[in-house]
Every structure is written in structure tokens, then in C-alpha cells.
Chains A and B, each alone.
Chain A
Amino acid sequence: MRIAVAHLYPAYLNIYADRGNIAVLARRAARRGHELDVRAVGIGDALRPGDHDLVYIGGGQDREQALVAPDLAARSEEVAEAVAGGAALLAVCGGYQLLGRGYRDRYGGTLPGAGLFPHETVAGGRRMIGDVLLECELEPGERRTIAGFENHAGRTQLDPGATPLGRVVAGFGNDGESGYEGCRVGRAIGTYLHGPLLPRNPWLADWLLAQALAHATGGEPPQLEPLDDELEAVAHAVSAQRARARGGR
């Protein structure tokens, strides 16, 4: 099966090895006989809802984020429609911020957001940097952990009732206070965690692939054939241990 992926602004938002996430998705899809067809969507390029089974947006430095923010904000309807139509989405760090309602920097400037995720982000004084460990339950009854690295000045406040991606076991998370990290809307996930995220959390890569396949087929997310993830498990364990050693929030 062909899985159509829109990679938003890869020339601008690629700071934390976002292509590692794409490489993991591509290879894990290929191992199950599917083909990941990744198309770059740059400033001014068309993004038609329904055309893509998975949307990916990564992180950038402040300057690059400011350059793409207006273009992304102008696409809020297309992004919302794609996700409402069952497309999967992964937004990391800066992309996660820009898919909220907006970002306010320390000097009073604001970047508009696309409004997919019910949150707002305000820059804080001290950057929140280090390894993070989350506990989450994307499917009822299936408890999993996510290990990653965060590096952000923004404090992201979820609206009351919004669904976070997970609970922070160690690290800062959305704002360093709430005890939650990331946000989920349908098949869309936003998170501050890079590292990159997917190589050491292969179950999450498979979850996204299954959601994307569900969109592609119009059916339910399929059970993907398990792979040998021994090295992935070691990388996860080392990263999780780093987060635990760093301690609580």
C-alpha cells in the first residue's frame, strides 16, 4: 500500500534530526510491504485535505519558525480538515507550537498558529532542556512509555479538557508545571520530544503508520507485523535511564 506523507517545510524545520523520524517511518513501512511516499510541502505549495495519509512537521530555530509561521497559519482550515478526515499527523517541537493558536516571544512579538491543537505557547526565561520520559495510553488499556529529549523556551498551556499525549515521569513537558506533555487530537499528535522521537520509540512509529494506513484504506488501523526491535529497546532504555537520573520536573 502506498502511504502519502506531506512533510511540511523540511527546508526550514529540520533542526532536531527530523529526517530520522521520516527514515524510521519509511523503513518500518517498507518492512511490512508498504511504500512511504514523502512529498515536501514548502511555503506557498498546495496542501489539499484528503491527499495525504500522514502529515509531518518538525522543529526549527526561532528565525526559521518565524519565516514559515504566516504560511502555516493561513492553512488552518486545510490542516483541520485533513485531521478531521482521519489523516495521521506528527508535529515535533516548533511544529507542535505552530499548530497551536499561537506563540508569544519574550519581547511581546507573536507568531500566529494554525489552531489545530487547543493550546497557547508563551516563551519563558529559562530553556527547558534534557531527557524526558512519558507514560501514555494512546489506545485504552495499552500503557506505553516514550523517551526523548526536549529543548524549548516555550511554555505550552493546554486548554481545559484538552488531551495531552502523556504524563511526565521525568523531565519538564509542556510547561514544566502541569505534569503533562504534548497534545492529541484524533490521529494527530504534537510533542516537544525529539531525539529523534521515533527511532527509540518504534511502537509510536507503528501506531502512526497504522493510523495512516487506516486513512489510506478507509478501514480500521491494521495490526502491523512485529519487527525485531532489540536495538530500539536498548536505545529506549538508555534514554529512559538518562531521564530518570535527571529526576522529576
Chain B
Amino acid sequence: MGARLAAETLAARAAAGLSRLAGRGGGTTVPGKLLWKVDPGAIDALASRLPLGSALVSATNGKTTTAAMAARILGGRARLAWNSAGANLVSGVATALLAARDAELGLFEVDEAALPEVARRVRPHALCLGNLFRDQLDRYGELEHVADGWRDAVSGLDDDAVVILNGDDPLVADLGRAHGRTVLFGLDDPRWARPALQHAADSKYCLRCGRPYAYAAAYVGHLGDYRCPACGHGRPPLDVAARGLELDGLNGAAFELVTPAGSTRIRLPLPGLYNVYNAVAAAALAQQLGAELDEIRAGLAGFSAAFGRFERIPASDRTILVLLVKNPAGANEIVRTLERSAPKTLLLALNDATADGKDVSWIWDVDLEPLLDGAETVIVSGERAAELGLRCLYGGLDRGSLVVEPDLERALDRGLVLVPPGGELPVLPTYTAMLALRAVVASRGLVAPYWERRR
């Protein structure tokens, strides 16, 4: 390390400690922001020192979980520089690079909009792109705009870099067309397909000719086995696929992972088709980084949720089940997973900070009705609790079943008393509401602050 870079990294690391001492949260981006300001090129230099190079993961939904799964699989193989706390802008990647001093491999989840710059600086050996759904249009702009940025990121990669793409997402699968080394992953089990495309489905018109795709199977939103009846453009052959799926409600999922190097049965302690997608993506990525099938199977079997994503937090004799929601496609999958257990009490929390999306209209695109139908009490909370309350009422919930409590701590307590001892309170918060709720439970000693979470 050069003298200047060494001095900069020292100062930046000290800043993280100061930030934590000052009680300003985890300091998960403070040192990176500092380093970036002092010397933007330092990130490139730090990344280039990793002997095994770097891998990047991006997606609208599941990037935190996919990266965490890959970390779990690869953690026994290499020392990782990994932004596990979800700080996924350039500054967050820089902070992870600073924090992991003798790391061998960089593994970074990256914000969709930040991907072009991070890829340019980090020069990854592997890039895993999971899906594109409508999300925070006030921040990212339209879907095609994000896809354009990703296309630039792919075209700027080194020729020998491998791009791992979700073949079930028309827009994402197409990103590899001009690149040499690609791996396409997806699901192959029409028994678990949705009967029809959901209301919030995106990218449902043929990329080539604009006609609606016909779906042999639609699994999550517009992800599935698509084909254009007019021009024939369809899902490319999959290199890595999940077959023979079993979904066991809230307990987990199992599937046959089929890869060019052979097949293995995966047991996943996380529920839902969306987590199967995350697992297949992580498996395909880890395999490209050298992992054997045994390591993949063991890593996924031992995986526990990334914070706030299907996280169970004990609260004396009850459990809080935290399910982060941030856009219609993701929220629809949460609903689909919860629906079978038909919770009687439910807490929904909507904030509208920048990280949540200032435009809250997306809640109307979520198919909440299956949960509302079975619920006796729905508590709505957060800064935009009233909007969420209206969503429920106009979705058919009785006024008598709705509790509007903007204060998150009070809302949590109102929910917990309604759950019988031994029971579980599902909480569906947006991002900053999730952080605030975790802060509440952390202050009660129920959960460690997120920056102290064990990896």
C-alpha cells in the first residue's frame, strides 16, 4: 500500500470508530464517504489489491440476501470484503474495502443506480444481476433507464469477467447479449407458477417487437418462462436452474439445483419463491468463483436471513417476524408467503424518506387483499400511516379492524398484545421503518444493533 493511501485508509477507519462513538448509527458509510472525498481513485486501488478480485450483486429485489448467501457459501474459502450491513452505494463499498484489511475476495451488493460507477471502479471478475422491477420511480426514474445503466456496466467489463444473469427476466437476460461469458439462471417448475401475471408485472411486452409475451410459467412478477408469440423472442436456455421445488410455508423451501457441474438437492431455511431465486443466483455466482456443489449445499442450508429480511426477533414470549417491503413485486411475494399462515394480527409500517421512496403510490399496486381478508386487526404505522390505512380500507378492510398508530413503538406494542403467547407478529416495514423498529427492539435488548451483527 502506498504511503498516501495508507494514511487515508487509517484516517477513514478512525472516522468509523468516531461515528459509532458519537452514537450516529453504525458508521457503515462514514469512512467510505471520507475516503471517496479525499481520493476517489483510492477505491479502485483498494479493490485492485484483492488477490481473488471482486464480485458484484445487484437487483431490485434480493440483492442483500443474494450477496449474504454467496458470502455464506464462500466464507470458508476466502476472507471476504463484504458490505453486509446493506450500505450499497459507492461509499458503502469503499467502507467495506477499508474495513476488511487482509481480505482476499470482494463481495459487494450494489444499488441499481450506483452499479455503473461501482463496476467501473472495482472492475469485478463476476457480476450477478438478479431482476428489475418498478421501484422508487422518484429516485431511479423508469425501468429502462436503470437497464441502460446496467447495459453500460456490462459493456465496460473486462472480456474475461463472467456475467450471471436471471434468464427469467426478459430485460435482465438481454443484458448479456453482447458479452462473451454469461451464465443464465432461473426456475424450471411450472407447478409453482402463478395462474396469471400480477397487476404490478413489468417488462411484459416483447423487447424486440412490443407484443405481450406469452408465459408458459410466471413465477414472481414478470419473472418466468416467456416467449413472444409474434417474433419468437423468448427465455434463453438456462445454465443453472432450480427444479423439483417444494415450498414449506414459512419454514423454508427445497429444490434440485441443476448446474453444468452436476445437481444437488438444496434445503433452504428461508421461505418463498423469491428466496429460491436468490439462492439460485447465489449458487450460480459462487460456482463461478470456485465453490463446489457441497459447499453450496452446506452454505445455503446454514443460511439465516439478512437483517430485516424474514428476521425473527424474540420479544419475551412472542416473536416479531420482520419482513422488509419496498416495492410491489417484493411485497407481493411477502403476501404470498404469509397468506397461507393467515395471520390474525398484522403490522404494516410506511415511511417516505429517500431510502423508502418519497412517492408512496406503490402501496396501491401491492395485492394486499389476501392478507386483509383473513386479518382481525391491521395496525398501520409510520409517517404515512394514514395513506396505508386508506389502502386497507379501500381494499375492503372494515374500519373496525384498522388501527392507525403513526408511532412505531406504540404500534409494535399494540400488535404484540394482540398476539397470543408463543405466537408471531408479522411486521411489514419499509426500509427506514425497519431500521427504526430494530432500534426500538435493540433498545429493549432484544436484538443487537445491525452493525454489530455477527457474520
Which residues of A are at the interface with B, using a C-beta cutoff of 8 A? 11, 14-17, 19-20, 23-24, 27, 61-64, 67, 127, 129-131, 149, 151, 194-196, 199-200, 231-232, 234-235, 238-239, 242
Contact = CB atoms under 8 A, between A and B. Distances in A.
Interface in B334-386: 352, 358-365, 383-384, 386
A90 to B, nearest CB: 15
Contacts of A238: 383-384, 386-387
Contacts, number: 86
A206 B383 CA distance: 27
A195 B142 CA distance: 16
B158 to A, nearest CB: 31
A20 B142 contact: no
23 contacts: A14-B365, A15-B137, A16-B137, A16-B361, A17-B361, A17-B362, A19-B364, A20-B394, A23-B364, A23-B395, A24-B394, A27-B394, A63-B205, A129-B138, A129-B359, A131-B358, A195-B359, A195-B360, A199-B387, A199-B394, A231-B393, A235-B390, A238-B383
A61 B144 contact: yes
Contacts of A231: 386, 389-390, 393, 404
Given A130-B358, A231-B393, A62 B364 contact: no
A27 B358 CA distance: 26
A149 B387 contact: no
A194 B359 CA distance: 9
Contacts of A149: 138, 358-361
Interface of B: 134, 137-138, 141-144, 199, 204-205, 210, 212, 352, 358-365, 383-384, 386-387, 389-391, 393-395, 404
A96 to B, nearest CB: 15
A131 B360 CA distance: 11
Given A11-B204, A195-B361, A231-B386, 18 more contacts: A17-B362, A17-B365, A23-B395, A61-B142, A62-B142, A63-B205, A129-B138, A129-B358, A149-B358, A151-B137, A151-B359, A194-B359, A195-B359, A196-B361, A199-B391, A199-B394, A231-B389, A235-B387
B432 to A, nearest CB: 15
Contact of A20 (B134, B352, B361): B361
Contacts of B142: 61-63
A82 B142 CA distance: 32
A62 B144 contact: yes
Contacts of B383: 238
A127 B389 contact: no
Contacts of A131: 358
Contacts of A27: 394
Given A199-B387, A200-B390, A61 B359 contact: no
Nearest to B205: A67
Nearest to A153: B141
A71 to B, nearest CB: 12
Contacts of A195: 359-361
Nearest to A23: B394
Contacts of A23: 364, 394-395
A234 B402 CA distance: 15
Contacts of A67: 205, 210
Nearest to B203: A63
Contact of B391 (A14, A20, A151, A234): A20
A129 B136 CA distance: 11
B393 A151 contact: no
